[in-house]
Amino acid sequence: MDCPVHRVSMGDPWSRRVHPDIASERHTQSFDVERLTNILDGGARNTALRRKVESIIHSDPVFNLKDNYFMSQNERYEASVQKKFHIQKIAERLGWLQDSHELHYASRTLSGDLALGLHYIFVKALKSLGSDEQIAKWVPLCNNFQIIATYAQTELGHGTYLQGLETEATYDADTQEFVLHSPSITAIKWWPGDLGRSATHALVQAQLMCSGARRGMHAFIVPVRSLQDHTPLPGITVGDIGPKMGFEQTDNGFLRLDHVRVPRENMLSRFAQVLPDGTYIKLGTPQSNYLSMVVTRVELLLGEITPLLQKACVIAIRYSVIRRQSQLRPSDPEAKVLDYQTQQQKLFPQLATAYAFHFLAKNLLEFFHRSYNAILNRDFSLLPELHALSSGIKAMVADFCTQGAELCRRACGGHGYSKLSGLPSLVTRVTASCTYEGENTVLYLQTARFLIKSYLQAQASPGATLQRSFPQSVAYLTAPDLARCPAQRAADFLHPEVYTKAWAHVAVRLIKDSVHHLQTLQQSGADRHEAWNQTNVIHLQAAKAHCYYVTVKSFTEALEKLANEPAIQQALKRLCDLYTLHGILSNAGDFLHDGFLSGAQVDMVRTAYLDLLRLIRKDAISLTDAFDFTDQCLNSALGCYDGNAYERLFHWAQKSPTNTQGNPAYEKYIRPLLQSWRPKL
Buried b (16+ CB within 10 A) or exposed e, 413-427: eebbebbbbbbbbbb
User: Which amino acid is it at 520?
Assistant: T
* Phi-psi category of residue 87: left, alpha or beta, with phi > 0 → left and psi -120 to 50 → alpha: alpha
Cβ atoms 183, 232 nearer than 8 A = no
CA-closest candidate to residue 395, choices 434, 365, 452: 434
Side chain identity at 482, as an amino acid letter? L
Beta bridge partners, 257, equal: 236
Local structure of residue 483 (DSSP, 8 states): S
HEC per residue, 169-217: EEEECCCCEEEEECCCHHHCEECCCCCCCCCCEEEEEEEEEECCEEEEE
Taking residue 61's Cβ as centre, other Cβ atoms within 10 Å add up to 7
For residue 352, the one-letter residue type is A
Q: What is the distance between the alpha carbons of residues 358 and 343, in angstroms, rounded to a whole number?
A: 23
Question: Under DSSP, is residue 116 helix (H, G, I), strand (E, B) or coil?
Answer: coil
How far is the C-alpha of 52 from the C-alpha of 33, rounded, in Å? 19
What DSSP line would sit under 369-432, residue for residue?
Answer: HHHHHHHHTT--TTHHHHHHHHHHHHHHHHHHHHHHHHHHHHHTGGGGGSGGGSHHHHHHHHHH
The answer to whether 521 and 529 are in contact (CB under 8 A) is no
- What is the torsion angle, in degrees rounded to the nearest 10, for the CA atoms of residue 440, residue 441, residue 447 and residue 453? -170
As a residue count, the chain comes to: 681
Which residue among 25, 166, 437, 560 is the active-site one? Answer: 437
Q: Which of 220, 427, 422 shows the shortest CA–CA distance to 305?
A: 427
Task: Based on the residue annotation, tell me whether 437 is a catalytic residue of this protein.
Answer: yes
Q: What is the DSSP string of 229-292?
A: T-PBPTTEEEEE----SS-TTS--EEEEESSEEEEGGGB--SSEEE-TT--EEE-S-TTGGGHH
The CB density around residue 277, as the number of other CB atoms within 10 Å, is 10
Buried b (16+ CB within 10 A) or exposed e, 279-294: eeeeebeeebbbbbbb
* CA atoms 615, 618, 624, 626: torsion sign: negative
Using DSSP, state whether 152 is helix, strand or coil.
strand
Catalytic residues: 437
